[in-house]
Amino acid sequence: MCGIVGVTGDQPALPVLLEGLGRLEYRGYDSAGVALQSGGALWVRKRAGKLSELVASVGDAPAGATAGIGHTRWATHGRPNDANAHPHTDCGGELALLHNGIVENYLSLRARLEGAHELRSETDTELLAHLMEERLADGATLADAARSILREVEGSLAIAVVHASDPELIVAARRVSPLVAGVADGAAFLASDIPALLPYTRDFKIIDDDQIVELRPGTLRVTDLDGAEIEPPARRVDWNLEEAEKGGFPDFMLKEIHDQPVAVEETLRGRTTADGRIVLDELRLSEDELRDVDKVFVVACGTSYHAGMVAKYAIEHWTRLPCEIDIASEFRYRDPVLDTRTLVVGVSQSGETADTIAACRHAKRLGAKVVAVSNVVDSSMAREADAVLYTHAGPEIGVAATKTHLAQIVALTELGLYLGQIRGTQLPSHTKRLLEELAEVPDRIRSLLTDSAKEVERVASQYWQTRDFFFIGRGVGYPVALEGALKLKEISYARAEAYPAGELKHGAIALIEPGVVVVGVATRSRVHAKTLSNIEEVRARGATVILVATEGDEDAASLADHVFWVPETAELFSPAVDVVPLQLFAYFVAKRRGHDVDQPRNLAKTVTVE
């Protein structure tokens, strides 16, 4: 989820690029860079760290440069350092390219280009610069070379390129990753996000998938993969800067809830083959090492712990390995039985949570193999672990985790399927079918966000003053109940307890009385009928019942005062869908209560103390 800015006109480009990048700072990044056209040559500067590091380093930039491109990077391939920052250049330094997205066929491209080019970074992006270099050497124009990138490269990408031989031209291309362009006052502008360009224009052309845009001072030309010219849709934006940063949503949390289908898609990207196998090349543990594992522990805190609970169900079911889940802050102190055949999976969106880091270190000391699941490249956990599996949710700004949670569930289920595949505990045809199901999850979330959000808001407006909530679920519905309750506590400050639905009658049912709201996760599963029996028990004691239920399930509806309908999803993937209405419920209750949902009281995004 990098930021892109480009400008070509008759005024100095550098201030426009730096201001635009500054306006993208809210999205989070780890390094930044610019490339400027300077009298038939390119001037490139890149720095790891805050934008201020880049700003401090551009004192010697060519003052008269009127065209250039700039970038803030959120690392996906390679650590955040100067070399890996964008733009990347071709061998001769004549072409500079920057990129937002992930190249899926990175390994095969790297193998092909390695001998023929001088590779100076660990990134997938640099490969695109060298690919374009080859096309230009064959006589292609810059736009045609960008077209061939769209043809040859698998994955998500928005790229912007400049070449020393054509000082006024910027070429950009897009597939999946966003790109907008605009023209104003004799200049043409390009960005990944609207806020970067708001000081210059409010009229944007939205560049679509598989389109190429050529920018020259005051003009834009958009073409398709065949080179045919097209007129992209225009959009006028009336948002102020703050609204624009949030993509038009009132809060980052709501924006991030709506980002979830893309977060899931990006986390799945490049990890499955056409014939239905899962590939986790980045894992750095050999198949033999993973075959040798005889026990798995998942360690995590908070929302990451709830994703880990889903993983426990999935890993045990698909691999028949025993899998324990531990709250990271408890793990070391209970003297867990670990040895060299134990696999410990540390789950943390930030990769900096002190308790989870300590748990992983403890596991390593006892000889276990440690895999980190993190959303931040090169985080402490990722660096220290034997292997790392990244989630690709992009930066999450709201303190309450949402899109990183869904990405964790997906990454962990990928890990479970992979273990099942290499250990031979799953039939290839079964894995293939499951991967096809998993690929459906983003669209299920999309349809739910479109169809159910209004009803969730309406129900929240009825119960926002309720004092006591209980969340119940069975099987993988239990971690969903835990996460629903945690979200509600974190941002609305309501009392919300989560229980395995069958456990309620062993004590907490004493608290159920009229006025209490019970939220049940009751989607179709092997324990569906039993969950409904537990719902009957709370209804009989006068609770108001809200159910998350599978579309069309009239049995569930007959027991509920309100239903949040969700599309049917394979049981072990269902938490990634079923939790979404509960995130929305917490959001709408908190908003009704007048709270700041992005920065709830007493909480920090990253908890670096034990």
Q: Which residues bind ligand M6R (CB under 6 A)?
A: 301-304, 348-350, 353, 356, 399-401, 490, 603, 606-607
CA dist 98 → 46, 126, 388, 413, 525 (Å): 11, 8, 25, 32, 46
Residue, CB closest to ligand M6R: 302
Nearer to ligand M6R, 45 or 489 (CB): 489
Nearer to ligand M6R, 192 or 350 (CB): 350
Nearer to ligand M6R, 85 or 359 (CB): 359
Cis peptide preceding 322, ω within 30 of 0? no
Contact 563, 556 (CB under 8 A): yes
Radius of gyration of the chain (CA): 25
Q: Which residues contact 332 (CB under 8 A, 6 or more apart)?
A: 358, 359, 362
Nearer to ligand M6R, 237 or 399 (CB): 399
Distance CA 321, CA 342 (A): 10
Within 10 angstroms of residue 20's Cβ, the number of other Cβ atoms is 27
Instruction: Give the shortest CB-604-to-ligand M6R separation in angstroms.
Output: 8
Instruction: Give the shortest CB-93-to-ligand M6R separation in angstroms.
Output: 39
Distance CA 235, CA 604 (A): 37
Question: Catalytic residue at 605?
Answer: yes
**DSSP of 93-162:** S-EEEEEEEEETTHHHHHHHHHTTS---SS-SHHHHHHHHHHHHHTT--HHHHHHHHHHH--EEEEEEEE
What is the DSSP code (8-state) at residue 65?
A: -
Contact 190, 212 (CB under 8 A): no
Instruction: Give the shortest CB-331-to-ligand M6R separation in angstroms.
Output: 13
Question: Catalytic residue at 2?
Answer: yes
Instruction: Give the shortest CB-388-to-ligand M6R separation in angstroms.
Output: 14
Output helix, strand, coil percentages for the chain, rounded to the nearest 5. 40, 25, 35
Residue with tokens 């679509």: 208
The residue annotated as part of the active site, out of 2, 301, 323, 360, is 2
Instruction: Give the shortest CB-603-to-ligand M6R separation in angstroms.
Output: 5
Instruction: Report the phi/psi class of residue 49: left, alpha or beta, with left for phi > 0 and alpha for psi in -120 to 50.
Output: left
Instruction: Give the shortest CB-591-to-ligand M6R separation in angstroms.
Output: 17
Contact 347, 299 (CB under 8 A): yes
Closest listed residue to residue 197, CA positions, set 12, 23, 15, 3: 23
Nearer to ligand M6R, 100 or 356 (CB): 356
Could you tell me where the DSSP H helices lie in 269-399? 287-291, 302-319, 328-331, 354-365, 380-384
What is the DSSP code (8-state) at residue 479?
A: H
* Tokens linked to 501: 């639905």
Nearer to ligand M6R, 8 or 350 (CB): 350
Distance CA 2, CA 449 (A): 25
Distance CA 114, CA 107 (A): 10
Nearer to ligand M6R, 81 or 599 (CB): 599
- According to DSSP, the residues that pair with 83 across neighbouring strands are none
CA angle 150, 224, 20 (to 5 degrees): 70
Nearer to ligand M6R, 484 or 520 (CB): 484
Instruction: Give the shortest CB-352-to-ligand M6R separation in angstroms.
Output: 7
Kind of pairing between the strands at 211-216 and 170-175: antiparallel
CA distance from start to end of the chain: 30
- According to DSSP, the residues that pair with 422 across neighbouring strands are none
Instruction: Give the shortest CB-509-to-ligand M6R separation in angstroms.
Output: 27
Distance CA 396, CA 514 (A): 38
Distance CA 31, CA 46 (A): 8
Which strands make up the sheet holding 295-300, listed edge to edge?
A: 323-327, 295-300, 342-348, 369-374, 387-390
The residue annotated as part of the active site, out of 50, 432, 530, 605, is 605
Nearer to ligand M6R, 223 or 349 (CB): 349
Nearer to ligand M6R, 399 or 512 (CB): 399
Instruction: Give the shortest CB-343-to-ligand M6R separation in angstroms.
Output: 19
Contact 544, 573 (CB under 8 A): no
Instruction: Give the shortest CB-1-to-ligand M6R separation in angstroms.
Output: 17
Nearer to ligand M6R, 81 or 606 (CB): 606
Instruction: Give the shortest CB-483-to-ligand M6R separation in angstroms.
Output: 9
Catalytic residue positions?
A: 2, 605
